[in-house]
């Protein structure tokens, strides 16, 4: 009888192999389900689990009247999954391209490019934090809609489940079509019913007034990171807290909504209300535009404030920039972003004379009628004969000047003698008390402290030069704050730009109030100096062009020579005062006996287009004060005063204009 086709040895060998395979499988199962069970479950959970971020809306920035200065608008980041797209929708591609404003060739490439090299895919990054949002699937042709599984990746990114094929290519699961599709356009795209096209709702920052108050508001970048201005300073209140939900996904990265485990809604950011008044800000920027056209200065600043509170109503710089196009500035034009009102310093010139006059009056050393010989060339001080500064061009005082006349005529020699009465230390302490040499605490713009040297670092001429605004530097905002001491009744007030905070529902959270830093001079002294400053804008003063008909105005001019490098005959370079480059300024307030508006106008290097090649504060800055003041008066309904009493409206004959 035959033994058959297989020997006993072969059968035994085959049986052994089968038993070994089952034994190996059993060992593997025991390893996975018993020994390595926790690691296996964790891997499976990580593969299926997903965390979906729901972006919070950034809070608004508004002016003191509630007008929007910065807001966040929802848009759709639109993309396509080329793996889901089919040729049956090709006829709709042209409509899609037209709706979202993308060339048809780009649409065709996104739909038909289905893979990319694995090496290139590895370099692609997940979307930036500002673009992470719940992915919204477009309705299918039958109108079905729903929330998709995960945040949409950027163009060309693919999920971890997409392994390379035999040629080393990976399937593309997301190709970006457009970054900013309006909600209304998105609804039209949805009606097309194109398979594989879906979007993510994100928020984009928008600045409705473009350049308005750009240096105050600041901006956020494409990732919603605050960069400058209030956007940066108040980011804690503005940014809000993102929401999220935890769920599971299938092999195609689609959410399995039935497996959602936890969910937290987003908390939108708070809104910040500024002290800026958009109407006055626009007026100030109009004046700067006129200055730029007429004089073509290197830069210029206008600040408008309420002298009774320190609240900034307008802060404008020239040149400026468009907040919606900050990233389009060339490297050379990026200087436009600099907030020159607080980040640049200059020698203030004659406006600084208010320090010596106020201090001498406050100490009881002089009265407004005390006279000084302003024809002197030299004077002895602390046992040393010191040269007095020259007077301004055209000034030749042949008689003693009273303190009031020293201010109204802007006498350099008179200011020096007032400071000498005080002495080095006392004059320096008053300058510090007026806020010089220290930051105001303004929250935006990279503020600098300016330069006020202590007496230990003075030379023999400093006591004669600093009272006229040389040997000291300040920012435009410091000068505004210093003049505010006179207008506020002797108090140094902290300049403030934030008015209040509201939550996302518009409910009041916090209100900023007047913040006195210290008393510098008495109220009586402040009133006396204010009365003296009205002489500056009178016919006999240095700035009659600042006078507003029907209103009692007070202020001070400044014409400061710029310190610039010059080449000496020996070939070396030295810093010298220029005879053809000046900073012209006028800082004042009105009504003088009941101040409601303070305006600072600082214009840097407007000389080239001025008669005689010199830009004087009296002829360049003072008229701007007048014109801007005349526009603000009817808007704020400001009444002129006579002996401290408001004039009735019917007596003004047309609003005092």
For residue range 346-359, list pLDDT tens digits in order.
999 999 999 999 99
Q: Are residues 219 and 306 in the same domain?
A: no
Q: How does the average pLDDT of the chain come out, rounded?
A: 86
Mean pLDDT of 206-225: 94
Q: Tell whether the model's pLDDT for residue 150 goes beyond 80.
A: no
Q: Give the chain's count of helices (H) and strands (E).
A: 19, 28
Give the per-residue pLDDT at 649.
34
Residue 152 has pLDDT above 90, yes or no: no
Q: What is the pLDDT of residue 87?
A: 82
Domain coverage including residue 95: 53-270
Q: Which residues touch 277 (CB under 8 Å, ≥6 apart)?
A: 63, 64, 65, 313, 314
At 557, give phi and psi (nearest 5°).
-85, 160
* CA pair distance 414, 46, nearest whole angstrom: 81
47-56, 158-167, 263-272, 461-470: range with lowest mean pLDDT: 158-167
Q: Identify whether 29 is part of a domain.
A: no
Domain with 184 in it: what CATH number?
3.90.1310.10
pTM of the model: 0.82
287, containing H or E segment = helix 278-295
Which one-letter DSSP state was computed for residue 162? -
Q: Is 132 within a domain?
A: yes
Give CA–CA dist 154/158, Å, rounded.
Answer: 9
Same domain, 233 and 301: no
Domain boundary among 270, 289, 313: 270
Model confidence at 613: pLDDT above 80: yes
Structural domain contains residue 577:
yes
| Cis-peptide, bond into residue 301, ω within 30° of zero | no
Residues 89 and 231 in one domain: yes
pLDDT on residue 119: 61
Distance between CA atoms of residues 602 and 136, nearest Å: 53
Say what the pLDDT of residue 153 is: 43
Judging by DSSP bridges, how do beta strands 135-137 and 115-117 pair with one another? unpaired
* Domain of residue 479, CATH code: 3.40.710.10
Pick from 28-42, 133-147, 411-425, 484-498: least confident: 133-147
The last residue of a domain, from among 270, 300, 331: 270
Residues 282 and 260 in one domain: no
pLDDT at 130: 38
Handedness of CA 34, 36, 42, 47 (dihedral sign): negative
How far apart CA 562 and CA 622 sit, in angstroms, is: 19
Task: Assign 3-state DSSP to the chain and report helix, strand, coil percentages, each to 5.
Answer: 35, 25, 40
Domain co-membership, 341 together with 253: no
Residue 107 dihedral angles phi and psi, to the nearest 5°: -60, -45
Does residue 84 or residue 403 have the better pLDDT? Answer: 403
Residue 47, in any domain of the structure: no
Q: Give per-residue pLDDT as tens, 523-544.
A: 999 999 999 999 999 998 999 9
Question: The dihedral of CA 208, 212, 216, 219: what is its sign?
Answer: positive
Q: Which of 422, 420, 400 is nearest to 411 (CA)?
A: 400
pLDDT value for 208: 96
The better pLDDT of the pair 190, 650 is held by 190
Residue 149 pLDDT exceeds 70: no
- Of 238, 270, 302, the residue at which a domain comes to its end is 270
Which secondary structure element, helix H or strand E, spans residue 45, and what is its range? Answer: helix 37-48
Q: Rounded to an integer, what distance in angstroms lies between the CA atom of residue 274 and that of residue 63?
A: 5
CA 58 to chain centre: 16
Q: Residue 125: what pLDDT? A: 43
Question: Mind listing the pLDDT tens digit for each residue in 555-605?
Answer: 999 999 999 998 888 888 889 999 999 999 999 999 999 999 999 999 999
Band (pLDDT 50/70/90 cuts) for residue 67 is very high
Can you give the pLDDT at residue 553?
97
Sort residue 213 into left (φ over 0), alpha (ψ -120 to 50) or beta. left
Pick the closest to residue 195 from 142, 256, 153 (CA basis).
142
Locus of tokens 């395979």 = 21
What is the band of 46 on the pLDDT scale with cuts at 50, 70, 90?
low
Distance separating alpha carbons of residues 350 and 392, to the nearest angstrom: 10
């Amino acid at each position: 009888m035959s033994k058959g086709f297989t020997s006993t040895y072969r059968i035994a060998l085959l049986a052994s192999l089968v038993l070994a395979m089952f034994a190996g499988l059993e060992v593997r199962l025991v390893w996975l389900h018993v020994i390595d069970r926790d690691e296996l479950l964790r891997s499976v959970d990580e593969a299926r689990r997903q965390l979906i971020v729901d972006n919070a809306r950034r809070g608004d920035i508004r002016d003191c009247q509630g007008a929007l200065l910065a807001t966040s608008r929802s848009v759709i980041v639109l993309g396509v999954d080329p793996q889901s797209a089919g040729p049956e929708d090709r006829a709709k591609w042209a409509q899609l391209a037209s709706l979202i404003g993308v060339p048809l060739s780009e649409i065709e490439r996104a739909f038909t490019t289905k893979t990319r090299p694995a090496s290139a895919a590895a370099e692609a990054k997940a979307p930036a934090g500002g673009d992470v949002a719940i992915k919204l699937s477009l309705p299918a042709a039958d109108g079905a809609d729903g929330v998709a599984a995960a945040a949409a990746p950027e163009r060309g990114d693919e999920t971890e489940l997409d392994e390379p094929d035999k040629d080393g290519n990976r399937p593309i699961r997301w190709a970006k079509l457009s970054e900013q599709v309006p909600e209304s356009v998105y609804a039209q795209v949805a009606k097309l019913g194109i398979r594989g096209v879906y979007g993510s709702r994100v928020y984009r920052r928008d600045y409705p007034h473009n350049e308005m108050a750009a240096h105050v508001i600041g901006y956020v970048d494409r990732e919603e990171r605050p960069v400058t201005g209030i956007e940066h300073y108040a980011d804690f209140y503005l940014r809000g807290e993102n929401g999220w939900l935890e769920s599971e996904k299938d092999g195609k990265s689609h959410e399995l909504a039935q497996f959602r485990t936890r969910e937290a809604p987003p908390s939108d950011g708070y809104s910040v209300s500024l002290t800026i008044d958009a109407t006055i800000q626009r007026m100030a920027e109009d004046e700067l535009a006129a200055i730029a056209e007429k004089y073509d200065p290197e830069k210029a600043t206008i600040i408008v404030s309420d002298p009774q509170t320190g609240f900034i109503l307008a802060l404008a710089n020239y040149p400026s920039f468009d907040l919606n196009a900050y990233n389009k500035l060339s490297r050379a034009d990026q200087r436009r972003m600099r907030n020159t009102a607080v980040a640049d310093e200059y020698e203030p010139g004659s406006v600084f004379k208010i320090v010596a006059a106020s201090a001498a009056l406050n100490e009881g050393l002089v009265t407004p009628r005390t006279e000084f010989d302003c024809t002197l060339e030299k004077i002895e001080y602390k046992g040393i004969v010191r040269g007095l500064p020259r007077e301004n061009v055209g000034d030749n005082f042949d008689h003693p000047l009273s303190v009031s006349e020293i201010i109204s005529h802007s006498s350099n020699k008179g200011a020096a003698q007032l400071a000498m009465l005080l002495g080095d230390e006392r004059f320096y302490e008053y300058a510090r008390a007026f806020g010089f040499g220290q930051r105001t605490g303004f929250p935006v713009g990279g503020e600098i402290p300016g330069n006020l040297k202590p007496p230990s670092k003075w030379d023999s001429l400093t006591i004669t030069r600093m009272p006229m605004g040389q040997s000291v530097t300040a920012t435009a905002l410091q000068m505004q704050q210093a003049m505010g001491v006179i207008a506020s009744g002797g108090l140094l007030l902290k300049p403030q730009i934030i008015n209040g905070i509201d939550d996302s529902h518009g409910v009041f959270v916090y209100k900023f109030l007047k913040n006195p830093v210290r008393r510098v001079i008495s109220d009586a002294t402040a009133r006396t100096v204010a009365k003296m400053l009205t002489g500056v804008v009178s016919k006999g003063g240095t700035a009659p062009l600042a006078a507003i008909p029907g209103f009692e105005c007070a202020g001070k001019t400044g014409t400061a020579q710029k310190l610039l490098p010059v080449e000496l005959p020996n070939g070396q370079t030295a810093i010298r005062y220029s005879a053809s480059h000046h900073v012209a300024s006028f800082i004042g307030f009105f009504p003088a006996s009941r101040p409601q508006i303070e305006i600072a106008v600082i214009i840097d290097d407007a000389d080239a287009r001025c008669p005689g090649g010199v830009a004087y504060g009296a002829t360049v800055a003072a008229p701007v004060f007048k014109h801007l003041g005349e526009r603000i008066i009817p808007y704020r309904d400001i009444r002129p005063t006579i002996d401290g009493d408001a004039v009735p409206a019917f007596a003004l004959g047309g609003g005092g204009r």
